[in-house]
Structure formats: C-alpha cells, structure tokens
Amino acid sequence: MLAVAYGVLAGHHGGVPTARERVRAELTAEITDAARRQLAEVGAAALSLRAVARELGMASSALYRYFPSRDDLLTRLIIDGYDALGEAAEKADDPSAPPQERWVAICRAVRGWAKEHPHEYALLYGSPVPGYQAPQDTVPAATRVGVLLGTVLGDAARAGLLPETSGGRDATLISDDAVAALGGEHPAIDEEVRVRALLAWSAIYGTVSFELFGHFVGSVEDADRYFDRAMTALAHLLGLGRERSGP
C-alpha cells in the first residue's frame, strides 16, 4: 500500500505535482546547472559526477538517485542543449517574413545561442565524447533546427519563390525522413535543392564551429559582419532571394 503510494507520488499520475515532486524537480535542475558549469570548465569528456556533487555540497552517491550513471546525466545535458538551441532558432523565425530574411534570422539565432553557450554547443556538435553512445531519445531534439530550416525551404517553394533546378530525382541519396524535413514533396524541391539545403545547414554549422573553435583567428577581422555576408551568400546559393548588390 505504501509502495503504491510512492509509485504514484513519483510522477505516474496526471494531477498537480506534489511538494515532493517539486523538490525533486528543483534539485534535478540544480544538478544539471552545476553540471553545465562544470562542462564549461573541464569539457564533456572530463565531466564527473563527483565534481558536481562537490559543488552542490552533496555526497557523490546521492546523485545516483537522480541520474543512474554519468552517461544519463550527459544525455540530459545533450537533450536540453538541442532543445534550447531549437527553441532559440524557432523564436527567431517570423513565418510571415520573406524567406531570405527568415533564413538569415535563423542563422543569426543559431550563432547567437552558440556564442552564449560555447561549451554546450561543443557538446552537441563537437567531437563525439569517447565511450559515450547517444541514445535514440536525443534524436527528436537534435533535428529541430534542421526541420525549421526545411520548413523555410518548403514555404518558399509553395510560394513559388524557389527557382526550379535540374537535379532530377535520386531516391537513394537522401532518406525519406530527411526529404520530409527538407520541405516535403514539392515540384520546386528536387534532389539538387535538397542537396543544397543540407549543404547550407552544414555550412552554417561549419561557420559557427570554425569561429567558436578558434579557426578564424587571424583571418576574419569582424566576425559579426562576416557571418551576415556569408549567410546571405548561402541564401543566394539556395535561390531564396536576390543578393544585395550594393555594399
């Protein structure tokens, strides 16, 4: 009888959260916050449960009641990170704006979030953490930005703003799931357009990562303006709009 009550209190009901549940959620948040701070100091590979516990003044063993292992804590951080990035990108999107403006706004939001959370960004998009295998749970959050960019592409196609290319259909190149994300089926979105969309997303990622990981040092003097110019060139590659011709 008591065991049943505990099971219910642990979150298997749909009602208002109990005091116990609120406390647990709060402490869980404190743990992930401390873990994010530690991430910034030592990186994902060296993230340790014990150091998190030390920072919170707890015994390390107490953390195992919240996260069964170090990898589970890492998974939580990864999912939270993808969701935060995805939300930042979605909030920056105004679906009523012209496609090229939407495109640049989303790119700026991605870069902005990355610069505000460089270590979380590195966790998501940097070198894989050795010995860590991401579970399937991370997939939905991980695809949010890509899906959003695909939506812009699809909307542009439906509005007739996407010039048709001649890439033809090539069913073996990009998976059906990715086709759905990249604007769905539409006459103006052929394989060539999809390739360019995926290339564009790779280029955003490459540009942000180059800057964050220090590979632009000594080459790019004004990163903000370079980024805007580069993203506009990308939109042009996609055929999302005419390029500004003046300086």
Query: Which residues of this chain interact with DNA, rule CB under 7 A?
Result: 20, 23-24, 27, 47-51, 54, 57-62, 64-66, 69-71
113 binds a copy of itself (CB under 8 A): no
Q: Are 78 and 137 in contact (CB under 8 A)?
A: no
Question: 57 contacts which partner out of DNA, a copy of itself, none, CB within 5 to 8 A by kind?
Answer: DNA
Task: Report the C-alpha gap between 134 and 20 in whole angstroms.
Answer: 30
Touching a copy of itself, residues 53-82 (CB under 8 A): none
Asked if 187 is part of the footprint of a copy of itself (rule: CB under 8 A), the reply reads: no
Q: For residues 9 and 184, which CB has a smaller minimum distance to a copy of itself in the complex?
A: 184
Tokens of 53: 């516990």
Q: Does 160 bind a copy of itself (CB under 8 A)?
A: no
Q: Write the DSSP symbol of residue 58.
A: -
Work out what residue 24 binds among a copy of itself, DNA, none; the CB cut-off runs from 5 to 8 Å by kind. DNA
Tokens of 160: 């007739």
Q: Is the dihedral of CA 186, 192, 195, 196 positive or negative?
A: negative
With binding defined as CB under 8 A, does residue 43 bind a copy of itself? Answer: yes
- Long-range own/partner contacts, residues 165-172 (CB < 8 A, 24 or more apart): 165/190, 165/192, 165/193, 165/239, 166/190, 166/192, 167/191, 167/192, 167/193, 167/195, 168/192
- Out of a copy of itself, DNA, none, what residue 60 binds, judged by CB under 5 to 8 A for its kind, is DNA
Residue 45 beta carbon to a copy of itself: minimum distance, rounded to whole angstroms:
4
Within 8 A by CB and 6+ apart from 218, the residues are none
How far, in Å, CA of 84 to CA of 117, rounded? 10
User: Residue numbers of the site for a copy of itself (CB under 8 A)?
Assistant: 41-46, 122-123, 125-131, 134, 139, 142, 146, 166-168, 170, 172-175, 177-178, 181, 192, 195-196, 198-199, 202-207, 209-210, 213-215, 218-222, 225-226, 229-230, 233-234, 236-237, 245-247
